[in-house]
Structure 1
Amino acid sequence: MSIARARLYPARHDLIREGDRPGPVFIVLDGWACRYKILPNGARQVLAFLMPGDSCDLHVGLLAQMDHCIQTITPARVATIERGEMDAMMENHPNIARAMYISQLVDEGTMRAWITSMGRRTSTERVAHLMCELYLRARNIGLDIDGTLSLPLSQILLADALGMTAVHINRVLKDLRLQGAMALRRGNLEIIDPDMIVRIAGFGDGYLHRRLRLA
Structure 2
Amino acid sequence: MANRFIDKLEAFGPLSAQAVAALAKATSRPRKMPAKHDLIREGDRPGPVFVMLEGWAYRYKVLPSGTRQVLAYLMPGDCCDLHIGLLAEMDHSIQTITPSLVAMVGRPEMDTLLDEHRGIAKAMYTAQLVDEGIMRAWITSMGRRASIERVAHLMCELYLRARNIGLADGETFALPLSQLLLADSLGMTPVHLNRVLKELRVAGAMTLARGSLIIADPGKLIQIAGFDANYLHRRLRQAA
Q: Same fold (TM over 0.5)?
A: yes
- Classify 1:213/1:161 alpha carbon distance in 2 versus 1 (closer, same or farther; 3 Å): farther
Match of 1:145 in 2: 169
- State how far apart, in whole Å, the 1-side matches of 2:181 and 2:122 are: 32
CA contact (8 A) 1:136 1:212 kept: no
Q: Does 1:85 align with 2:109?
A: yes
The CA distance in 1 between the partners of 2:235 and 2:54, in whole Å, is: 17
- 1:107 to 2:131 alignment: yes
Q: Residues 212, 76 of structure 1: CA spacing in aligned structure 2 closer, same or farther, 3 A cutoff?
A: farther
Distance 1:67 1:46, change over 3 A: same
Q: CA deviation at 1:145?
A: 3.0
Give the equivalent residue in structure 1 for 2:15. Answer: none
What is the Cα deviation at residue 211 of structure 1?
8.3
**Equivalent in the alignment of 2:51:** 27
* Match runs of 1:41-190 below 5 Å: 41-190=65-214
Distance 1:212 1:78 in 2: 27
TM-score (norm 2): 0.87
Encode CA deviations 1:159-187: one digit per residue, 9 max, x unaligned.
00000000000110011011000111111
- Match of 1:13? 37
| Structure 1 consecutive aligned stretches of length 4 or more whose deviation exceeds 4 Å | 211-214
Gaps of 5+ in 2: 1-22
The AA in structure 2 aligned to 1:22 is: P
Q: Which runs of 5+ in 1 are unaligned?
A: none
What amino acid is aligned across from residue 150 of structure 2 in structure 1?
R
CA-atom RMSD in angstroms: 1.3
TM-score (structure 1 length as normaliser): 0.97
| Corresponding position of 1:209 | 233
Counterpart Cα distance in 1 of 2:234 and 2:152 = 21
CA shift in 2, pair 1:212/1:75, >3 Å: farther
Identity %: 69
Q: What is the number of residues matched between the two proteins?
A: 214
Residue type of the alignment partner of 2:169:
I
